[in-house]
Chains A and B, each alone.
Chain A
Amino acid sequence: MTTTVTRTRMSPGHAIKDTWVITKRNLLRNVRLPQLLLFATIQPVMFLLLFNYVFGGALGQSLPPAANGQYINWIVPGLLVQVATFGSGQTALGLTEDLSKGVIDRFRSLPMARSAVLAGRTLADAIRNGFVITLMLAVGFVIGFRWQTSLFGMLGAMLVAMMFAYALSWVMASIGLAVKNPEAAQSAVFLPVFPLVFASSVFVPTQTMPDWLRSFADVQPITVTANALRGLILGRDALLPTQSVSGQVWAAIAWAAGIFVVFAPLAVRQYRRITD
Chain B
Amino acid sequence: MTDPIVSVMGVNKTFGGTIEALVDVNLDFEPGIIYGLLGPNGAGKTTLIRVLTTLLKPDSGSARVAGVDVISDPVTARTRLGLAGQFAAVDDYLTGRENVEMVGRLYNLSRTDAARRADEVLERIHLTDAAERPVRTYSGGMRRRLDLAASMIGRPQVLFLDEPTTGIDPRSRVDVWDLIEDLVADGTTILLTTQYLDEADQLAARVGVIDEGRLITEGTPEELKDKLGGSVVELTVDDDTRTRTMDTLRSVNGDEPVYDAGSKRISLPAPDGSATLIQVVRALDDAGIAPGDLSLRKPTLDDVFMTLTGHVAEDTNKSPQRGRRGRQPERNPQ
Chain A residues packing against B (C-beta within 8 Å): 1, 3-8, 10, 14, 17-18, 21, 25, 28-29, 32-33, 101-103, 105-112, 275-276
Q: Name the residue of chain B whose CB is nearest to the CB of A275.
A: B56
Which residues of B have CB within 8 Å of A29? 91, 93-94
Q: Identify the 9 closest CB pairs spanning chains A and B, nearest first.
A: A32-B93, A8-B75, A102-B89, A111-B78, A109-B83, A106-B89, A111-B79, A112-B106, A102-B87
Asked if residues B89 and A103 are in contact (CB atoms below 8 Å), the reply is yes
Which residues of B have CB within 8 Å of A25? 91, 94, 102
**B62 on interface, CB distance cutoff 8 Å:** yes
Residues 66-118 (chain B) with a chain A CB within 8 angstroms: 69, 71-73, 75-76, 78-79, 81-83, 85-89, 91, 93-94, 98, 102-103, 105-108
A107 to B76 alpha-carbon distance, docked (Å): 15
Asked if residues A21 and B102 are in contact (CB atoms below 8 Å), the reply is yes
A7 to B81 alpha-carbon distance, docked (Å): 17
Which residues of A have CB within 8 Å of B93? 28-29, 32-33
Asked if residues A4 and B105 are in contact (CB atoms below 8 Å), the reply is no
**B267 on interface, CB distance cutoff 8 Å:** no
Which residues of A have CB within 8 Å of B81? 109
Which residues of A have CB within 8 Å of B76? 8, 111
Smallest beta-carbon distance A57→chain B, Å: 43
**B54 on interface, CB distance cutoff 8 Å:** yes
A-B contact pairs, 24 of them (CB 8 A): A1-B71, A8-B73, A10-B75, A17-B105, A18-B105, A21-B106, A25-B94, A28-B94, A29-B93, A101-B89, A102-B87, A105-B50, A105-B55, A106-B150, A109-B81, A110-B103, A110-B106, A111-B78, A111-B106, A111-B108, A111-B154, A112-B108, A275-B55, A275-B56
Q: Name the residue of chain B whose CB is nearest to the CB of A7.
A: B75
Asked if residues B87 and A101 are in contact (CB atoms below 8 Å), the reply is yes
Which residues of A have CB within 8 Å of B79? 111
Which residues of A have CB within 8 Å of B60? 1
**B57 on interface, CB distance cutoff 8 Å:** yes
Which residues of B have CB within 8 Å of A10? 75
- Do A106 and B103 contact each other (CB < 8 Å), given the known contacts A3-B69, A25-B94, A276-B15? yes
Q: Name the residue of chain A whose CB is nearest to the CB of B83.
A: A109
Which residues of A have CB within 8 Å of B55? 105, 108-109, 275
Chain B residues packing against A (C-beta within 8 Å): 15, 50, 53-57, 60, 62, 69, 71-73, 75-76, 78-79, 81-83, 85-89, 91, 93-94, 98, 102-103, 105-108, 134, 150, 154
Asked if residues B78 and A110 are in contact (CB atoms below 8 Å), the reply is yes
A108 to B105 alpha-carbon distance, docked (Å): 14
A106 to B146 alpha-carbon distance, docked (Å): 13
Point out the residue from B72, B87, B94 that lies within 8 Å of A6, measured CB to CB: B72
Asked if residues B71 and A105 are in contact (CB atoms below 8 Å), the reply is no
Smallest beta-carbon distance B285→chain A, Å: 56
Smallest beta-carbon distance B303→chain A, Å: 33
Asked if residues B106 and A1 are in contact (CB atoms below 8 Å), the reply is no
- Do A110 and B107 contact each other (CB < 8 Å), given the known contacts A1-B71, A32-B94? yes
Which residues of B have CB within 8 Å of A108? 54-55
Q: Which of A3, A7, A10, A105 has the most CB of B within 10 A?
A: A105
A207 to B130 alpha-carbon distance, docked (Å): 61
Which residues of B have CB within 8 Å of A17? 105
Asked if residues A21 and B105 are in contact (CB atoms below 8 Å), the reply is yes
Asked if residues B71 and A3 are in contact (CB atoms below 8 Å), the reply is yes
Which residues of B have CB within 8 Å of A109? 53-55, 78, 81-83
A25-B94, A112-B108 known; 16 new pairs, CB 8 Å cut-off, are A1-B71, A4-B72, A8-B73, A8-B75, A18-B105, A21-B105, A28-B98, A32-B93, A103-B89, A106-B89, A107-B106, A109-B54, A109-B55, A110-B78, A275-B55, A276-B15
Which residues of A have CB within 8 Å of B73? 5-6, 8
Smallest beta-carbon distance A276→chain B, Å: 7
Asked if residues A105 and B89 are in contact (CB atoms below 8 Å), the reply is yes
Q: Name the residue of chain B whose CB is nearest to the CB of A2.
A: B60
Q: Name the residue of chain B whose CB is nearest to the CB of A104.
A: B89
A65 to B182 alpha-carbon distance, docked (Å): 76
Q: Name the residue of chain A whose CB is nearest to the CB of B82.
A: A109
Smallest beta-carbon distance A165→chain B, Å: 23
Q: Which of A6, A102, A109, A276 has the most CB of B within 10 A?
A: A109
A8 to B78 alpha-carbon distance, docked (Å): 11
A102 to B89 alpha-carbon distance, docked (Å): 5
Which residues of A have CB within 8 Å of B105? 17-18, 21
A126 to B134 alpha-carbon distance, docked (Å): 25
Smallest beta-carbon distance A119→chain B, Å: 13
